[in-house]
Chain A
Amino acid sequence: MKLFKKVPEMPSDDLSINRISQKTNAVLNVVFLLWSLACVLPLALVVVVSFSSEQSIFQNGYSFFPSEWSLDAYRFFFKLGDQLIRSYGITIFVTVVGTLFSLAITAMFAYVLSRSDYAYNRLFTLLMLFTMLFNGGIVATYMVNTQMLGLGDSVWALILPMSLNAFYVIVLRTFYKSIPLEIIEAARIDGAGEFKTFFSIVLPLSKPGLATIGMFTTIAYWNDWFLGMLYIVDQKKYPVQTLLWSMQNSLEFMKQSSANALEYAEMAANAPTDSGRMALTVLVVLPILLAYPFFQKYFVKGLTVGGVKG
């Protein structure tokens, strides 16, 4: 019980005894630096290859020093013009609305499940867990979404089906559980209702958890091309991932079937397949990587938890 002994005010960063030694720090840095290289070099390679000419890729393979630079791959995608802008717009809408909606229902649900004094806690947890392990498969899901709910060709087909992820609910529930029940009790004694307790006390305390889940949800919405591929028939309504994926595959399709096709299109002969694949990755990954630090500001130790003291 020594752990709970009260300590005089003392900002954590000044606790010099609590720091690791310079030597340990150096070792850790070396390890992390090496791993960073393993992570960042491939990404850099993707960027470089996306700007390489197709010819130089053939000659030298993927290389950090291409013999010839080229914008062909980007030109290929930018040819889409308005369509590309529209598709980015759709993706941004889906990502923003989806993340907010998803985070809202996930946060509330997870909180309810974290309350050990809630009567249906176990029932709902089991119901949810079940959906994580069992799923009806694509045929039935597709039928329900298009025939019963009428989501076919609509932007909601991209948002709603993935708005509740049982995994995130459980992770977030674990976060909430670290909030002492006394705080919630205290709020009650002060006369706060459940909703007020949740929004004004619990939510602020769980910012790191919300940021983590929010970030993963954002990434999931941003990266998703499959729902667009399934539910959106009209190409004009494609989110950007689906659009780029479709372009790239059309290109590869054309090349692969050229061998026994009736014709050999001029376009296929000099279209950028390898660099195109990489340019696609750049167009998809960069915006979301830029958004990353926004979430990260909640991950630094010691920002929020002071409030536990009440």
Chain B
Amino acid sequence: MKNISKRAAALAMTAAMTAGLLTGCGGAGSASGSAASGGDDVTTLTWYMSINPVAADTEKVIAKLNEYTREKIGVEIDYKVIANPDYKEKMPNLINAGEYFDICFTSNWTTDYLQFTGKDAFMDITELLPQYAKETYEFIPEAVWDAVKVNGSIYGVPSYKEMGWQGGIVYNSDMAEAYGIDMSTVKTLEDYTKVLEVVAEKSKAEGKNVVGVSGLTNAWPMAAPYESLTGNPKLPAAAAVPEFGNFQDVASQTVFNQYASEEYMNYCQTVRGWNKAGYLGGDPVNYDSDIANRDNDFNNGALFSYFIQYAPGTSESMSASSGHGVGFVALMDPLFETRSAMGGLLAISSASEHPDKALEFINLLNTDEYVGTLIRHGIEGEHYTAVGDNQVDKTMGGTLTDNGYDYTYGWQFGTPFNQKWDISYPDNIEQLFQEYNDSAVISPNNGFTFDAVPVETQVAALTNVISEYTPSLETGSVDPAEYIPKFLEAMQANGVDDLMKEVENQLTTFKSAK
């Protein structure tokens, strides 16, 4: 009953909005018509974008972009580009204060998509999408659209890239070869113990003290992958993913606390063993907090391997930058869950006067290769030279640092499949992505977004408990047999049961609605 009325309301709203748009366009036509050279209506869209770092030649590129979009869809962009770390500070305040914008970048790591959707900051574009961004709507797989839905509605266009995340270990393959290690035998965390043993033994024999592995603060969900139901893998409330065949004893429960599982105990015991054996260096908790230091150790052969979330092409580019061979061993197939689609989205403000035009523009970013390549690589002949049909060379006879328009994370603008690739990528990169995405396991409750509002108090308290206990447990710095019970007790005292119950209730509602 409730659902029906909600839907009706949404429909009515869309209808009203479209009507408003029509009159709005008519009214604006006379005002802004004079500005356009051809006499057509030109809509100016304010776009707040987070990208790093802001390129020197941004204005030139945007001028070029506006030339094109004015012709094509009657849109000019008022481009407010802000470097990633600044955006994180600025944008939430801008939105909270009700500053006007049409399009903004959002994600789960900056200007949080779910948070601001919850605060009514973004527009529900479910109905508008097939109308104004048809190609994009069809191009992006349904599972991805499902993942960004909040209460059944879409509030942002995700950047479609690799589906989900894949945990594993990158390692110095030159060193592995020298020590005679066969990494293909490594399938699980336990298998890795033997490798670490060899590394420690052989490197000591050479008079070196090589740290075996780091990155353990991210390793636990890779060792025993689960679906994170809260959208934050650190918070308790998980569901088993049948394809991975783990969490057998609790798999029948809709929701379980991953920290209370046997798997967690096993993981902690394993790394405890590694820590005691000295494979992790003296201070595994802090080792990774200085990434620069870790990278340097890895490049210089002082660190053998570390845990990462892998994307196609990573090991190739890493071997280029590290000066030695880099291999990757996966601990799991890629897992696609709700949070995976939230690495980057473009959302439309709930106060936007031109959601139709904004969507048309976002559509270009994702499907018009000229626009995709322009916004990501700049102007041909000035910022890159085309190599074949699909690649670009950005060196322009100098170094990359001299290039006035060079972005590392082009996917923040839209799908990288709509942008030419840098020549540093393997030729078959799109195929690699395809394979990766085909092998991805889609989590059983994909599309379920947890609304934390009813249990915010508990989440707040639990977040603190978790950040107190997990770093030392998950790096083997303390004895799990003693500390896990303490940890569970602390969670109990801070309302873990309330959280789990709430997740379960919401999940049941979600499932029955499906």
The chain A residues found within 8 Å of chain B, CB to CB, are 58, 138-139, 142-143, 146-147, 152, 229-230, 233-235, 246-247, 249-250, 252-269, 273-274
B90 touches A262 (CB 8 A): no
Q: B52 within 8 Å of A by Cβ? A: yes
Apart from A229-B86, A229-B90, A255-B292, what 4 extra A-B contacts exist at CB < 8 Å?
A142-B94, A250-B85, A255-B295, A265-B406
- Establish whether residues B317 and A263, one from each chain, have CB atoms under 8 Å apart when the complex forms: yes
A255 in contact with B90 (CB, 8 Å)? no
7 contacts between A and B (CB under 8 A): A142-B94, A235-B83, A246-B86, A247-B53, A249-B85, A263-B313, A263-B424
Instruction: Give every chain A residue within 8 A of B297 (Cβ-Cβ).
Output: 58
Which of the residues B80, B314, B422 comes within 8 Å of A233, measured between beta carbons?
B80
Contact A250 B83 (CB under 8 A): yes
Q: Judging by beta carbons under 8 Å apart, are A254 and B98 in contact? A: no
Chain A residues near B425: list those with CB within 8 A: 263
Q: Kindly list chain B residues whose C-beta atoms are within 8 Å of the C-beta of A264.
A: 314, 317-318, 320-321, 408
Instruction: Write the nearest CB–CB distance from A224 to chain B, whole angstroms.
Output: 14
Give the complex CA separation of A263 and B411 in angstroms: 10
Q: Is the CB of B93 within 8 A of A254?
A: no
When the two chains form their complex, are residues A266 and B321 in contact, meaning their CB atoms are under 8 A apart?
Answer: yes
Q: A250-B83, A259-B308, A261-B408 are in contact. Are A58 and B293 (CB under 8 A)?
A: yes
Residues of A within 8 A of B83 (CB): 235, 246, 249-250
User: Interface residue count for B (Cβ, 8 Å)?
Assistant: 50
Chain B residues proximal to chain A, CB less than 8 Å: 52-54, 80, 82-86, 89-90, 93-94, 96-99, 161, 165, 215, 291-293, 295-297, 300, 306, 308-311, 313-314, 317-318, 320-321, 399-401, 406, 408-411, 416, 422, 424-425
Least Cβ distance of B326 to chain A in Å? 10
Given A143-B98, A146-B97, A229-B89, does the pair A262, B52 have CB atoms closer than 8 Å?
Answer: no
Give bound CA distance, A219 to B320, whole Å.
45
Which residues of B have CB within 8 Å of A152? 99
Interchain CA distance A279-B86 in the complex, whole Å: 20
CA of A147 to CA of B94, assembled, Å: 10
Q: Are B310 and A143 in contact (CB under 8 A)?
A: no
Q: Is the CB of B292 within 8 A of A142?
A: no
Q: How far, in whole Å, are A264 and B300 apart by their CA atoms in the complex?
A: 17
The smallest beta-carbon distance between B111 and chain A, in angstroms, is 14
Given A235-B54, A235-B83 in contact, is the A261-B311 Cβ separation under 8 Å?
A: yes
Are A262 and B97 CB-contacts (below 8 A) given A58-B296, A269-B321, A274-B292?
Answer: no
Contact B401 A262 (CB under 8 A): no
> Residue on B with the closest CB to A138?
B93
Contact A261 B99, beta carbon cutoff 8 Å: no
**Residues on the B chain within 8 Å of A262, using CB:** 161, 311, 313-314, 408-411, 416
- Whether B96 and A142, one on each chain, are in contact in the complex, defined by CB atoms closer than 8 angstroms, is yes
Of A233, A247, A254, A260, which contacts B90 at CB under 8 A? A233
Top 6 A-B pairs ranked by shortest CB distance? A249-B85, A260-B309, A143-B97, A264-B317, A265-B408, A250-B53
Partner of A230, one of B89, B296, B416: B89
Give CA–CA (A98, B84) in the complex, Å: 29
